Structure 1
Amino acid sequence: TFFHESSLSHFYLFQDLQNSRITISNFKNNEVVQYPLILLKGTIEHDNCNESSKANVRHANDCAISESNTKPSKNSFKVLIELKPGENLVSIDFCCSSINMKLTYRRRKSCLNIVPMYIINDGHSGQFQSSDLEDNSPESACKRILTGSKLLQCLIAEKLYEEGFGRKTFQLENDECVIFRSNLNYKIARKMNQEELWGYLGREIMNSKIGSNAKKYLGFLSCTKYNGESKLIETYEDMIKVTEGHIALGGGGLALFGSACLHTWPEKVEDVVRRFEDNTSVDKQKFMDDSCYRGTYGTCFTTTLGSVLHELCHTFDLAHTQDGIMDRGFDNIHKFFIVTNSIASDNLDEESVATKSTCFRANLAVNSFVNNSGIIRNPNCVQNSNIRKKYEDDTYFARSCSVILSYHKFFNDYSNRNSGYILKFDTSTNFVKSTLGIRVIEIRKGTNEMVADSWIFTGKILKYSFHIPEDCLSDTDKLFIEDNAGNIVKEFYER
């Protein structure tokens, strides 16, 4: 249905927000966003309303009007809205109260993009593993991958907003998922380990007509096959042993994943909440249960979506941290998107989490302090329950990770600010020098590159040089530096 301007004007009757019993906490009227899928959060007072009442959400633009419902929990609500380019009008009604808001979606112009893709191996049908009740066609796979990509785009933007950096996030190329037909035979792919798959497919993509250094690729492998029949599956390691073509690995320009749990993902935004709340038990004889030992379709969706976020962020140069998303702080990612108190995914067994083979942790002895110059030294080495309490959804980035993302080239438009710059580390003096200003310094230890120390400089007055204390560095440490224009230096320290 198409509407004239007068129809939208009639719809958009803005009322005094302060007199409303409905409050939106994370967006203001007339805001402009640069990505399509947003999460509205707020509260509703409903003393005289039925506990089972639902809020009606109405979204209109120049082309159509859509409606959905959301049920508040403990006076709180969250609702996902997919914006169309241009002005979007949102109305939320509950009992006798209503609130209206105008938001504008204006896509950020960038030559640096993320390309979601479904990789179909040579000789494979392209159908991912699923029950007979699910559409497992390549077209369905692309819909699920694109919806998941938009969810992560939204999450990162909101997390950086919470940290005071504005709603910065990556851009999806053409807001679509592409099908990539690989020359790698599916039988050979199923016998390869993660590193071999990542290396082969990364080279193949870059040598193809869509290969570009201005893009990063988020790929899912069609031929992943779980073989759990007549086998005793008790641990994560047991599950991985019987899964062919499984991968969850990200870095450089490629984040690559298996498709064994893709059937738990939604095809469209309207199905996201239902998929998160799906408490159907996974039949481990038939399907992979990558849920961090929680055993439901909903928890498979939340854990695998969180894993994709973690690995995708490696392509944005984030290392492992001792807390947050770049540790194991992504298994409750559903809490970011929905208000919930009762689904199985709320109940994480910390001991079980620690047994997952993808959980990297290093025993690092470092201390935290603020030195005499006032520069914050921010080691990421300790799980801090007080940090977790700060985030009601249990989903957050360590501070240095947020700063890296907020200044990253894939999150900004720096134009020609990079000509003639200097960014270097002088090993003879332990000084970092930058002509554009330093934003982040990290010291990363071990083969898993665990962040041991970090210094961040987010003030308006730029820092052009910084001395790293001698006792913070040791041989084989990797130094990471990012400047004010997203330029990055990574190098190993040698005395």
Structure 2
Amino acid sequence: MLEVTNVRDGEVIPHRLCLLRVVGTEPEATCAAIHNQNDNNRNGALWKIHQRGFNALVPLVEGKNDLRIICGTQEASIQVVYKPLDIPRFIRLVYITCINDDKFQGPKDMECSPNSAVRKIQTGALVLQTFVAETLAAEGLDRRTFRFELDTEGNPIVHVIQLPLTIREAHKFTEERLWETAALHILSSHLADKNCKYVAFFGGTRFSNPDKVPLKNETDIMALTKGHVSLGGGGLALVSTGALYTWALDVDDVMDAMWNTSPVDTSTLMDFSGGRGTWGACYGTHLGSVLHELAHTLDLGHTPHGIMARGFEDLHVFFTTTKLTSDYLPQSPHHSSVMRQSMSSSLIKESVTFTTDFVRKIPLDNINMTVEPPKEPLASSGVYSPPILTRRYPSKTHSSNSESGSPITIEDSLSSSQTQRNTCNRTLLNAPSPNLTNSVLNNNKLQENDGSKCRAFWARSSAVLLAFHKWLNIVTDGDPPELKGSVVCSTAGIRIVELRDLHTMAFHHWEFVTRPPPPVLHLPWAQVPHWPSDTHIEVVAEDSQGNLLKGCFMPRPL
């Protein structure tokens, strides 16, 4: 019997691309069809079956969508209502070119024009919007996501701007300087808007391996890549386009692109696959890294596991498998038990959090950028040993009962960001990255998407912070929560308090999701099982209106 496991009949969805996880297909069935009977512009699409189930990404029309699912002699239907988001704050997408080169790198037979880049970014953005909504709903936090500015056809708008640099000049820049240049250029243009955060793609990334040198590890890959950048924080996430060639042009091609097991030709193309060597893994890893950096602009830091660690590498696994199992799971009590399998860590250049808040100041042509003290890793409630659970997506959503320095001017930011980068690299992963060859061997099953392992999810505290964030809700601005001694106060009610060490790795949190949030919380220090060795800790708090207390350091309680 066909069953949709992640969406309820009649459910209202705030994103245009709907993910359906369907199980219960006939044993001999190889494909299924889904037709949106309310969309006269599209025919039904075919989806291949894997392990008696399949996933489908169905574009929706505004209003009611009556979806008819057909698999052999079986048939099912589900109605989904698409209601576009009406949040005042939004995410603005930008494709950045150089004055003498506007193309991204790809195979010789591929169109790599700005128009092609825009289409790929549009499609990828819709996929990320869906991912956020799906994962928050799975945590019992409702189907919430961020908003993009849309064109008349409902596609995300991608602005194309040109830096006043040649591609050779841009390749001489450090990641931090390229980030700053892009930030200043955006803020001095018509794209400046206090209600948006930016995700920018630098089209000048270039990989070159003319001697066909064997690549043993990620260091070898990066040594042959110029213009690679992966920095996010404040108002801007800037990422490179080294693997944009693997991205789908249209939503109908997303699943095929993620399933693509074609090997990457490392003599001409950058392998951004997390050590797995396939186009599909490149797509998942690259798209996941964009979400990772975007999340930094939404005040999230790194976590011991999940998207804000190295879990972003498995984004393609999340979309191509119907049964997801993870080594790390949320504290929410609504997940079924199943045997857990371990996954070896895979390879990718360690992301750097460049937590820079840039603002306009009067006069408008005097643009300043300030760099706050380092903020990067985050965590879920306590560094706990999670139970053996599966990440199953219930047909109904549930609620969790668990509770768990001076600014620097832009002139000084390069030296500051380099210090922060070194800190990030020491703290993001406890174990060194494995050899590239070993990583590929260890992940052979992953390339087949056997459905047993996936690290693409939010650590619990990341999910709660997102669920009440201003960029995902209609809220009014207010004063942030206050910390007075060991007491956190907010008239809007406290939703989450998170403790981070001086490397901004969160090691404990308390949440108030299902009941009225307290306006005053005396922090119960005795409940914290493990303390970092740092002399000071950071207290991060968010209230019901998304007002955020951050950058507040205090001596570690004895």
Q: Same fold (TM over 0.5)?
A: yes
Q: Which residue is 2:87 aligned to?
A: 110
Matched-pair contact (CA < 8 Å) for 2:55–2:320: yes
Q: Does 1:433 align with 2:489?
A: yes
Please give the TM-score of this superposition, normalised by the length of structure 2. 0.75
Q: Does 1:483 align with 2:543?
A: yes
Offset at residue 203 of structure 1 (A): 1.9
Q: Distance in 2 between matches of 1:270 and 1:389?
A: 26
Q: Which residue is 2:500 aligned to?
A: 444
Q: Distance in 2 between matches of 1:387 and 1:319?
A: 25
Q: How many equivalent residue pairs?
A: 443
Q: Distance in 2 between matches of 1:422 and 1:277?
A: 44
| 1:266-325 deviations in Å (ceiling 9; x for gaps) | 101111121112221112121111111111111111111111111111111111111111
Offset at residue 122 of structure 1 (A): 2.1
Q: Which residue is 2:311 aligned to?
A: 329
Q: Distance in 1 between matches of 2:352 and 2:183?
A: 24
Q: For 1:34-45, what aligned pairs fall within 5 Å after superposition?
A: 34-45=14-25
Offset at residue 411 of structure 1 (A): 0.4
Offset at residue 132 of structure 1 (A): 1.6
Matched-pair contact (CA < 8 Å) for 1:388–1:394: no
Q: What stretches of structure 2 of length at least 5 have no aligned partner?
A: 151-155, 324-340, 354-378, 394-451
Matched-pair contact (CA < 8 Å) for 1:323–1:382: no
Q: Does 1:289 align with 2:271?
A: yes
The 1:356/1:201 distance shift into structure 2, 3 A limit, reads closer
Q: For 1:456-471, what aligned pairs fall within 5 Å after superposition?
A: 456-469=511-524
Offset at residue 29 of structure 1 (A): 2.4
Q: Does 1:250 align with 2:223?
A: no
Matched-pair contact (CA < 8 Å) for 1:39–1:80: yes
Moved more, 140-149 or 384-393: 384-393
Which amino acid in structure 1 is aligned with residue 163 of structure 2? S
| 1:254-273 deviations in Å (ceiling 9; x for gaps) | 11111111001110111112
Offset at residue 351 of structure 1 (A): 5.1
The 1:297/1:340 distance shift into structure 2, 3 A limit, reads farther
Moved more, 58-67 or 385-394: 385-394
Q: Which residue is 2:76 aligned to?
A: 99
Structure 1 runs of 4+ aligned residues shifted over 4 Å read 382-385, 387-393, 469-474
Q: What stretches of structure 1 of length at least 5 have no aligned partner?
A: 1-20, 342-346, 361-367, 369-376
The 1:389/1:61 distance shift into structure 2, 3 A limit, reads closer
Matched-pair contact (CA < 8 Å) for 1:72–1:339: no
Q: Distance in 2 between matches of 1:460 and 1:42?
A: 33
Q: Which residue is 1:22 aligned to?
A: 2
Matched-pair contact (CA < 8 Å) for 1:115–1:173: yes
Structure scoring higher RCO (CA < 8 A, sep ≥ 6) equals: 2
Offset at residue 475 of structure 1 (A): 3.8
Q: Distance in 2 between matches of 1:434 and 1:329?
A: 33
| 1:416-471 deviations in Å (ceiling 9; x for gaps) | 4x45x462111xx2211111111111122234x21122111113222112223568
Q: Distance in 1 between matches of 2:8 and 2:489?
A: 40
Q: Does 1:59 align with 2:59?
A: no
Pick from 357, 381, 396: which aligns with 1:378?
381
The 1:492/1:422 distance shift into structure 2, 3 A limit, reads closer
Matched-pair contact (CA < 8 Å) for 1:323–1:383: no
Q: Distance in 2 between matches of 1:267 and 1:140?
A: 7
Matched-pair contact (CA < 8 Å) for 2:119–2:249: yes
Offset at residue 177 of structure 1 (A): 1.6
Offset at residue 195 of structure 1 (A): 1.3
CA RMSD of aligned residues (A): 2.5
Q: Does 1:410 align with 2:471?
A: yes
Q: Which residue is 2:291 aligned to?
A: 309
Matched-pair contact (CA < 8 Å) for 2:29–2:72: no
Q: For 1:17-166, what aligned pairs fall within 5 Å after superposition?
A: 21-46=1-26, 50-52=28-30, 54-61=31-38, 63-124=40-101, 126-166=102-142
Offset at residue 123 of structure 1 (A): 2.2
Matched-pair contact (CA < 8 Å) for 2:55–2:322: no
SS in 2 for 1:148: helix
Q: Distance in 1 between matches of 2:217 and 2:342?
A: 15
Matched-pair contact (CA < 8 Å) for 2:274–2:346: yes
The 1:65/1:276 distance shift into structure 2, 3 A limit, reads closer
Q: Does 1:399 align with 2:460?
A: yes
Q: Which residue is 1:181 aligned to?
A: 162
Q: For 1:333-372, what aligned pairs fall within 5 Å after superposition?
A: 333-339=315-321, 350=344, 352-353=346-347, 356-358=349-351
Matched-pair contact (CA < 8 Å) for 1:160–1:402: yes
Matched-pair contact (CA < 8 Å) for 1:90–1:102: yes
| 1:361-387 deviations in Å (ceiling 9; x for gaps) | xxxxxxx9xxxxxxxx921x3675736
Pick from 231, 242, 249: which aligns with 1:267?
249
Q: Which residue is 1:453 aligned to?
A: 508
Q: Which residue is 2:194 aligned to?
A: 213
